[in-house]
Amino acid sequence: MSELQFRLSAPVEAWPVYAGHLPLGRYLVRSGVITQEQLLAALQLQLRLNAPIGEILVAEGWAEPTDILRALALQNGVQWADLALEPPRADLCGLKPHTFWLRHGVIPWMRLGPMVIVATSRPDRFDEVRADMAGTGVLLMPALASRDQIDAALARCYSATLARLAESRVDGLYSCRDWQIAARLPALLALALLVATFCLAPLHGFAVLFLAAVLSLLLFTGLKAAALVAHLLNQAHLTAPTQPESGTRVQGVRLPKISVLVPLYKEREIAGALVARLSRLTYPKALLDVILVLEEKDQLTRETLANCVLPHWMRVIEVPGHSGLTTKPRAMNYALDFCRGEIIGVWDAEDAPVADQLEHVAERFARAPRDVVCLQGILDYYNPRSSWRARCFTIEYASWFRIILPGIARLGLVVPLGGTTLFFRRAALEQLGGWDAHNVTEDADLGVRLCRAGYRTELIDTVTYEEANFRSWPWVKQRSRWLKGFMVTYLVHMRSPRRLWADLGPARFLGVQAFFLGTLAQFLLAPVLWSFWLLLLGLPHPLTAVLTPATLTACTSVFLATEMLALVAGLIAVSGRERRFLLPWVISMPLYFPLGVVAAYKALYEMIVKPFFWDKTQHGQADEEASG
């Protein structure tokens, strides 16, 4: 009979004493905190949850955290330390680097003669701390404290260090933090050359732009067409009658702890709704660690959250100011050190993930090869009926996240990540240095770096609903930030094209060119592309004097093929039951993108004069709509 079977079948009085300690559950049952039936249920849950019994009891609402701490102190015969009343001595933190204390989740509390008392929330693991400090000659004694108090004390002790490191975790070769005027000089020279060409030879300058627009459009269209075909072939394979694969369900594996970062900045409208939306999650709460990441000076969000009752599995981390940089990736880098899960996720402030999303994530990571270190979920909108622009935004997202992006992943190309519903194996994310704190599209940049390091990203069939920007200027601001980030990301990774080629290989290298150049050119050069409509309407085109009719006809064919491809992808993307009402609006998509030209030139200007400026998107302007 196994130890667990014995503990489940025997009455409390018959439980054995191990290593001189009674089991934690016996203390709790004898003190009347829980019943024996609750303990047996918690032990059953522990068979599939990778969590201590105390955390399971708290998560199920059968015990309070103070009850668990009191029982742990009695069980292990250790002192209970209140780090809020008696903060740790700052000089003791220098006994080891901050990485040591963070890794073990402990902090030196006070000195007692030749002995140092170290606060820990896991006295059962204190021997690991002793072993790692065996060569220092320091005698250690454990004291019990809550993990929240330990994290808060570590944050106070290492505030400046952690804030500084949050801005420079990524290797300088892959970061834009040294983006001084010299780094932007090529873009400035190219812009100056373009203006000079137009001044000296307007017609030939326009011809050069025309051919560049067509070439970039051809690249992007080719990428989208290949992705569409790959997606359709995969769907045909999935719908074909086949025998179910063995092992599609993970058996005998304990679910992992998942930490999800939710960066918030000046959020008055969204905070309360966020708590309600995340409370719908069905993942075991003992394994759920949702971290609301706030800027230290963000008094607005702090006051808003003060009026919310946060569940025990949701906590707040404040990011100290350091250099004035307040970006989402910097905040996530800082919070990454305080995560408790082996899987790290990212949601945005306005997100509403489906209830069983984390179960899908845990199951896929358990079955996926080790080189799959990132899972990207599907992003959708919960307010598509807010306006015509919201409908078009929903169609655009559906085409990208349900058709094109899965096809790109299926082809094995670089997957430009979305900014939310991302989940990483923690070890790989930390190896890569987390996110580039200065890049305003840290998601797309991380997608490239993952691929350069030899890792893969997969798309998973789980949906997170967001709020569509349905007002004109907020849409422009959001899109300009994305486009500016694409510009910066492309220029950073193209610092050494030969090295990028060596890291990615020919196909992925070409995919990077097609995505970034194609995305940017379709907005920056859109006015040039719009001139195709003159030919289609039978009107004279200014380039008929310098380009042959055959060339113009070929360009027109590319333009028409692009529009048809977008139409087909949009129709397929919204053909499902929940989004079928959007089918008539797909034909209006060509009218949706012109505002992107304003966003593109705003992005180009900011890329030159203020590349790190984060143009925040205001949330909480729309209510959730019923599905269907």
pLDDT per position as a tens digit, 544-564: 877 788 888 888 888 889 999
Question: What is the model's pLDDT at position 86?
Answer: 92
Please indicate, yes or no, if residue 176 is contained in any of the structural domains. Answer: no
pTM of the entire predicted model:
0.90
pLDDT > 70 fraction of the chain, expressed in percent and rounded: 90
Indicate if 401 and 420 belong to the same structural domain: yes
**Three-state secondary structure string covering 102-122:** HHHCEEEEEEECCEEEEEECC
Work out the pLDDT band at 306, boundaries 50, 70, 90.
Answer: confident
Rounded CA separation 186/607 (Å):
12
Tokens of 511: 């995919």
pLDDT > 90 fraction of the chain, expressed in percent and rounded: 60
Question: What is the model's pLDDT at position 554?
Answer: 86
Question: What is the model's pLDDT at position 364?
Answer: 96
Please indicate, yes or no, if residue 184 is contained in any of the structural domains. Answer: no
Indicate if 555 and 410 belong to the same structural domain: yes
Mean pLDDT (the chain) is: 87
Please indicate, yes or no, if residue 536 is contained in any of the structural domains. Answer: yes
Q: Under a CB-based contact definition with an 8 Å cutoff, are residues 8 and 43 in contact?
A: yes
Task: Pick 224 or 15 by higher pLDDT.
Answer: 224
**Which of 50, 76, 102 is the last residue before a domain boundary?**
76
User: Hey, how many other C-beta atoms are within 10 angstroms of the C-beta on 8?
Assistant: 14
Work out the pLDDT band at 246, boundaries 50, 70, 90.
Answer: very low
Phi-psi region of 503 (alpha: psi -120 to 50; beta: other; left: phi over 0): alpha
Question: What is the model's pLDDT at position 577?
Answer: 86
What number is the average pLDDT over the span 145-154?
Answer: 95
Indicate if 401 and 322 belong to the same structural domain: yes
Q: Which residues pair with 115 in a beta bridge?
A: 112, 139
Rounded CA separation 292/347 (Å):
10
Q: Distance of CA 110 to CAs 133, 151, 154, 226, 490, Å?
A: 16, 16, 14, 63, 50
Question: What is the model's pLDDT at position 304?
Answer: 86
Q: What pLDDT digit, counting tens, does each position of 571-615 carry?
A: 999 998 889 999 999 999 999 999 999 999 999 888 888 888 887
| Domain count across the chain | 3
The greatest distance separating any two alpha carbons of the chain, rounded to the nearest whole angstrom, comes to 98
**Which of 134, 152, 170 is the last residue before a domain boundary?**
152
End-to-end CA distance of the chain: 53
- Burial tier of 598 (Cβ tally within 10 Å: 0-12, 13-18, 19+): middle
Please indicate, yes or no, if residue 565 is contained in any of the structural domains. Answer: yes
Question: What is the model's pLDDT at position 542?
Answer: 80
Rounded CA separation 589/90 (Å):
60
Task: Pick 43 or 539 by higher pLDDT.
Answer: 43
What number is the average pLDDT over the span 458-465?
Answer: 95
Please indicate, yes or no, if residue 202 is contained in any of the structural domains. Answer: no
Rounded CA separation 451/455 (Å):
5
Residue 20 has pLDDT above 60, yes or no: no
Question: What is the model's pLDDT at position 184?
Answer: 62
Phi-psi region of 187 (alpha: psi -120 to 50; beta: other; left: phi over 0): alpha
What number is the average pLDDT over the span 378-405?
Answer: 94
Indicate if 92 and 225 belong to the same structural domain: no
User: Hey, how many other C-beta atoms are within 10 angstroms of the C-beta on 234?
Assistant: 14
Please indicate, yes or no, if residue 456 is contained in any of the structural domains. Answer: yes
Tokens of 523: 């907005």
Residue 503 has pLDDT above 60, yes or no: yes
Residue 623 has pLDDT above 70, yes or no: no
Q: What pLDDT digit, counting tens, does each position of 252-296 carry?
A: 678 999 999 999 998 877 777 888 899 999 999 999 999 999 999
Q: What pLDDT digit, counting tens, does each position of 315-364 carry?
A: 999 999 877 788 999 999 999 999 999 999 999 988 999 999 999 999 99
Indicate if 229 and 90 belong to the same structural domain: no
The domain containing residue 129 runs over which residues? Answer: 81-152
Residues 48, 49, 50: CA angle, nearest 5 degrees: 125
Work out the pLDDT band at 620, boundaries 50, 70, 90.
Answer: low
Which CATH number belongs to the domain containing residue 92 in this structure? 3.30.300.160
Pick from 611, 578, 535: nearest CA to 175: 611
Indicate if 418 and 439 belong to the same structural domain: yes
Indicate if 66 and 94 belong to the same structural domain: no
Indicate if 63 and 127 belong to the same structural domain: no
Radius of gyration in angstroms for the set of CA atoms belonging to the chain, rounded to a whole number = 28
Please indicate, yes or no, if residue 107 is contained in any of the structural domains. Answer: yes
Indicate if 497 and 588 belong to the same structural domain: yes
Q: Under a CB-based contact definition with an 8 Å cutoff, are residues 354 and 463 in contact?
A: yes
What number is the average pLDDT over the span 402-409?
Answer: 95
Question: What is the model's pLDDT at position 291?
Answer: 97
Task: Pick 207 or 600 by higher pLDDT.
Answer: 600
Indicate if 273 and 129 belong to the same structural domain: no
Work out the pLDDT band at 70, boundaries 50, 70, 90.
Answer: confident
**Which of 76, 104, 138 is the last residue before a domain boundary?**
76
Work out the pLDDT band at 487, boundaries 50, 70, 90.
Answer: very high
Indicate if 138 and 23 belong to the same structural domain: no
Residue 370 has pLDDT above 90, yes or no: yes
Indicate if 62 and 111 belong to the same structural domain: no
Work out the pLDDT band at 58, boundaries 50, 70, 90.
Answer: very high
Please indicate, yes or no, if residue 71 is contained in any of the structural domains. Answer: yes
Residue 514 has pLDDT above 80, yes or no: yes
Chain centroid to Cα 621, Å, comes to: 23
